[in-house]
Amino acid sequence: MPMSRTATFSDPYEYQTFHPDGSQKVVVTARGEYRSRLTLIELHRLWMRSGWQTLPTVHHAALREDQSPIAFPIKLAMMVGGIEVQPGELFVTGLGGDYHGRSPAQLHWGSLSLTPDNLAAFGRALAGRDLEHPAETRVIHPEPAAMARLLRLYTAVEGIETSSPEILAHPEVAKAIEQELARAVIACLAGTVSTESPQPLRAKVMRRFEQMIESHRDEPLYLADVCEAVGVSGRTLRLYCQELLGMAPHRYLWLRRVHLVRRALTLADPAKTNVTTIANDHGFAELGRFAVAYRNMFGEAPSMTLRRLA
């Protein structure tokens, strides 16, 4: 049954839980008020997603094995696997694959998802040949006219969801929209001018890096321990993190920890715990220095977060 829904978020952790295409880990990288929006539209054989955010972020996406989004920035460029993707370009990740992305403030992005069977079927019907998801992340440069048509259709459907979402629930309307979107995206894929792929060794190392982080989600991590677990030198990890994350690994780990503290403060009962305990639990031993850094990042003292959000 076709359906659509839009949700807005003020917490990146809540945003992460709303992704049905796989897991999404988000780290906000600048000070400011975080707001994001995510729209989900499910037609018959095609899923449509779009999103927007106020602040720059680094994210690690691990995708489902039965679908892989064909994604694209609508407003502003973003980085995927160390490659800049401009509006007018696509990127696709292999089924069950993952990638690191960097998104600027005010990024507006979109995606379309098809199962392998449906992608192949639409390819045969509309392009005369089977089309397959790539085995790895790939940035695609389609013919400009085909991409422009896809973006026009996409933004029109976004407008329908915003103004009259009940229309998208009508089976025949959903089928007609799906056919037009499928025709447009198949034209982009079949008429690809060129492609680029991130270096696989970097992706492999960064995947181990994220696995190390995930397995110690609620613990402080330090660079020497991470390098030993990942199996690369500190110099190599710094190089890869700079290319894919736009920052050194210690900065990424610090941002992760300080956001974990903020999340813990929002969930804590001030009658049962305090800032010192939560900060120490996440590896911040010098409370004065931590409080200054926290205020610089979030615009308020940690004690204010604990009291205000209680």
Grouped pLDDT means (10 residues each) for the chain, 310 residues: 91 84 87 93 94 95 85 96 95 89 96 93 92 88 96 95 93 95 95 85 91 81 87 94 94 91 90 92 89 92 80
What per-residue confidence (pLDDT) applies to 112?
95
The string of DSSP letters for 201-232 reads HHHHHHHHHHHHHHHTTTS---HHHHHHHHTS
Report which of 46, 48, 33, 37 is spatially closest to residue 15, judged by C-alpha positions: 37
Decide: 37 and 108 in contact? Cβ < 8 Å: no
Q: How many beta carbons lie within 10 A of that of residue 174, not counting itself?
A: 21
Q: Where are the domains of the chain?
A: 3-196, 200-308
- What integer pLDDT is reported at residue 85 of this predicted model? 96
Q: How far is CA 169 from CA 87, 113, 165, 197, in A?
A: 29, 18, 7, 37
Q: Given 1.10.10.60, 3.10.20.30, 3.20.80.10, 1.20.140.10, which CATH number is that of 200-308?
A: 1.10.10.60
Q: How far apart are CA 69 and CA 100, in angstroms?
A: 14
* Cβ neighbours around 86 below 10 Å, total: 12
User: Can you give the pTM of this predicted structure?
Assistant: 0.88
At 119, the amino acid letter reads L
> In the numeric block, which tokens belong to residue 239?
């190089």
Contact partners, residue 30, CB within 8 Å, separation at least 6 = 55, 56, 105
Task: Compute CA distances 255 → 26, 84, 108, 112, 220, whole Å.
Answer: 11, 23, 23, 31, 11
Residues 6 or more apart whose Cβ sits within 8 Å of residue 246: 29, 58, 79, 102
Burial class (CB in 10 A: 0-12, 13-18, 19+), 179: middle
- The pLDDT value given to residue 218: 67
**Encoding tokens for residue 250?**
């210690």
Rg (CA), the chain: 21
What CATH number should be reported for the domain whose range is 3-196?
2.60.120.10
